[in-house]
Chain A
Amino acid sequence: MTPLPRGIRWFPAIPLLAAMLWLTGMTIATGQTTADDQELPPRPEGFVLDEGGFLDTSRAERLSQYLTDASKNDIRVFLVTYADLPGGEVAGGRATRLMRAWFPEGGYGAVLIFLESDRRFAVVAHPDFERIRGERSVKLVSDRAEKALARNIPLAVVLREAAMDLEYEMRQSLREYRHAESRRTPLLIGGGLLTLAFAGSILFFAIHRMRLQNLFDKARTFPITRMEPRLGGVMSGGHSAVSRCGPTGKTPG
């Protein structure tokens, strides 16, 4: 190592080194891609995105046709396979990001992901579906698929069964939800009508009690004066007149 020329001291080099280190760090940091920054694939038209290449063409087409038919009944299930994900991203994280990217308009949809590197399945359903799913859980679909995988069932079969299983669970949930809604609607209408009738009865009774003409100040009332009862009568003291049949018709009462 060549010694520094005489007269040059060490301390002016320290800030220079620090600046160089900082610049190097910034370069590395900006060059490193995070999972969020990774480009997501566009939504597949056929509901199957086999990036891992685990499905043969005919099987993928049949499955795609099945899921396309299901989408006509408002259930949209996407099957996505990966051999590996860059940046150490897990299947669940990718499924969530895909769901957000592919369902901007909402709806009853879900993304089923298989990640070969982890041998794991992940299912993420849109919140619109989570709201109505009731007792059913789409998470169980991934559990069942992983168990099937552990039993050495061919992967292509497991993928197909998992996608169909997910579609079935979602279809049943939606059917049960709509059935419950259809039963609740007449009840709501009936309850509303009953409430209306009750309120109407109360209103009618109140108006009847007040007497409608009193509302418009058309009823005539008289002041109550102090009176003492006579002859044991509490209602009337016998203040009266008598009219008799005949030419005069009147007899003093």
Chain B
Amino acid sequence: MTCPSCDQPVKPGDPACPACGFCLEMAAARFGAVPRHGVYVTDTTQLMDSLTRGQHQSLERYLMFFERKFPQCRFSVFFTHLLPGRSIRELTFNLFNRCQFSAFEAKVARNFSLLLVVDTGSRDACLMTGYGLEPLLSTEDLEGILAAGRPAMDKRRYHEGVKACLDTTIKLLAQRHTEAAK
């Protein structure tokens, strides 16, 4: 596992990154109070070009469908407009741990949630998992999921991009579940 800030390896149980000292408190100080957010889809950009109302609702329904398929998991999407020089990975780490996207009791190994943060300014995206999904989805898997949504996101069709990411996630998790059952 690597540090969200400096990308150096971090061991389990480390309270802070041994290389740069990054930790949740530092991220909280860097990004301040968490914005108002929903459980499934949050759009802080206030721009109608990122998601229309219909797309927002359609996406929420699809995220609920995902949760019905994988009751332990919750996929949340957060649209933001990052200031220049801010790291999307640090922001995702900060939001994941400080916003209550997943259930209250879903902590440490019980957290099987995923958070996709999309920066509508740079069109960068970051997908982060809870501790529970770490053994199931590797970094390559996560990159593959993001790559599936990349073409649509490049064209600012975020709704399609997120759905493509979700489809790939569903396929991967179903595959992991089958493998685990065997």
Contact = CB atoms under 8 A, between A and B. Distances in A.
Interface of A: 211, 213-214, 218-245, 249-250, 252-253
A232 B25 contact: yes
Interface of B is mostly: mixed
A228 B13 CA distance: 5
B33 interface: no
Most chain A CB inside 10 Å of its own CB: which residue of B4, B69, B129: B4
B128 interface: yes
Contact of B2 (A221, A223, A232, A238): A238
A240 B129 contact: yes
Contacts of B122: 244-245
17 contacts: A220-B69, A221-B177, A224-B110, A227-B108, A230-B12, A231-B17, A234-B107, A236-B115, A237-B10, A239-B1, A239-B137, A240-B89, A240-B126, A240-B128, A240-B139, A243-B147, A250-B147
A211 B128 CA distance: 26
Interface of B: 1-4, 7, 10-17, 22-25, 68-72, 88-89, 92-93, 96-97, 101-102, 106-113, 115, 122-137, 139, 142-143, 145-147, 149-150, 153-154, 173-174, 176-177, 180
Nearest to B102: A235
Contacts of A223: 180
B7 A253 contact: yes
Nearest to A231: B23
B93 A241 contact: no
A230 B7 contact: no
Contact of B71 (A211, A240, A249, A252): A211
B123 A245 contact: yes
A233 B129 CA distance: 12
Contacts of A222: 70, 72, 112, 132-133, 136, 176-177, 180
Given A220-B173, A222-B132, A241-B143, A229 B71 contact: no
Given A235-B107, A238-B93, A242-B124, A229 B131 contact: yes
Given A245-B154, A253-B7, A234 B126 contact: no
B24 A231 contact: yes
B146 A243 contact: yes
Contacts of A241: 126-127, 139, 142-143, 145-146
Nearest to B181: A220
Contacts of B97: 232-236
A238 B109 CA distance: 13
Given A220-B70, A245-B123, A240 B92 contact: yes
Contacts of A249: 146-147, 150, 154
B26 to A, nearest CB: 9
A235 B96 contact: yes
A222 B73 CA distance: 9
B93 A233 contact: yes
B71 to A, nearest CB: 5
